[in-house]
């Protein structure tokens, strides 16, 4: 009777997912990451904004989505469940990760209820350039949880994953 009670208790415990009863191997840990998949045009190329794209006061020009002028493709994986996330791409200038002359405001996707290990790809094609000419020295891509409308790069506590790619573009008319 004692052996039967122990066996029944063991089966009941395994039904609640206790790891001592599991015979499946543990899954490897997933790290949050951003990987560049494609960038166009190639580094070193000029980006010429057509005159028909109006200059917006107090400053800047919007490069519309699908314009073909500039695109940044990324593959994203996140490790932990998060309720909401946004993808920002900053056009770095001055050789610093906090100095930028534009971002992907017109093409900044968001996702909600992200599950651990979820992966997606996305190509950003819309940007706002704050000043012309703009000497771009790098692309900083950040997936973050900040949802307050600020246009500056998020704090590290708000960031899920980020990647930076050195490039050289001169954006001008």
Residue 8 lies in a domain: no
Residue 15 lies in a domain: no
Q: Which pair of tokens denotes residue 59?
A: 């400053």
Residue 92 lies in a domain: yes
Residue 10 lies in a domain: no
Residue 98 lies in a domain: yes
Residue 3 lies in a domain: no
| 3-state SS assignment for residue 21 | helix
Residue 160 lies in a domain: yes
What is the length of the chain?
A: 173
Residue 9 lies in a domain: no
Single pTM value for the model: 0.80
The range of the structural domain enclosing residue 161 comes to 30-172
Ordered per-residue pLDDT tens for the chain, 173 residues: 444 443 443 433 344 343 333 334 344 456 899 999 999 999 999 999 999 998 887 778 999 999 999 999 999 998 889 899 999 999 999 877 779 999 999 999 999 998 998 899 999 999 999 989 999 999 999 999 988 777 778 888 999 999 999 999 999 98
Other Cβ atoms within 10 Å of 70 Cβ, number: 25
């Amino acid at each position: 009777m004692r052996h039967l009670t122990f066996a029944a208790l063991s089966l009941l415990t395994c039904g609640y997912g206790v790891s001592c009863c599991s015979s499946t191997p543990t899954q490897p840990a997933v790290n949050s990451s951003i990987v560049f998949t494609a960038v166009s045009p190639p580094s070193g190329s000029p980006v010429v904004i057509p005159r028909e794209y109006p200059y917006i006061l107090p400053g800047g020009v919007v490069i519309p989505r699908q314009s073909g002028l500039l695109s940044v493709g990324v593959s994203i994986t996140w490790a932990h469940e998060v309720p909401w996330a946004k993808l920002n791409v900053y056009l770095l200038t001055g050789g610093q990760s906090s100095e930028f002359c534009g971002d992907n405001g017109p093409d900044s996707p968001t996702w909600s209820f992200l599950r651990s290990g979820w992966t997606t790809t996305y190509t950003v094609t819309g940007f706002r350039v704050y000043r012309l000419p703009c000497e771009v020295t790098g692309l900083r891509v950040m997936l973050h949880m900040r949802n307050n409308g600020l246009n500056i790069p998020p704090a590290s506590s708000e960031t899920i994953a980020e990647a930076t790619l050195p490039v050289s573009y001169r954006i001008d008319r």
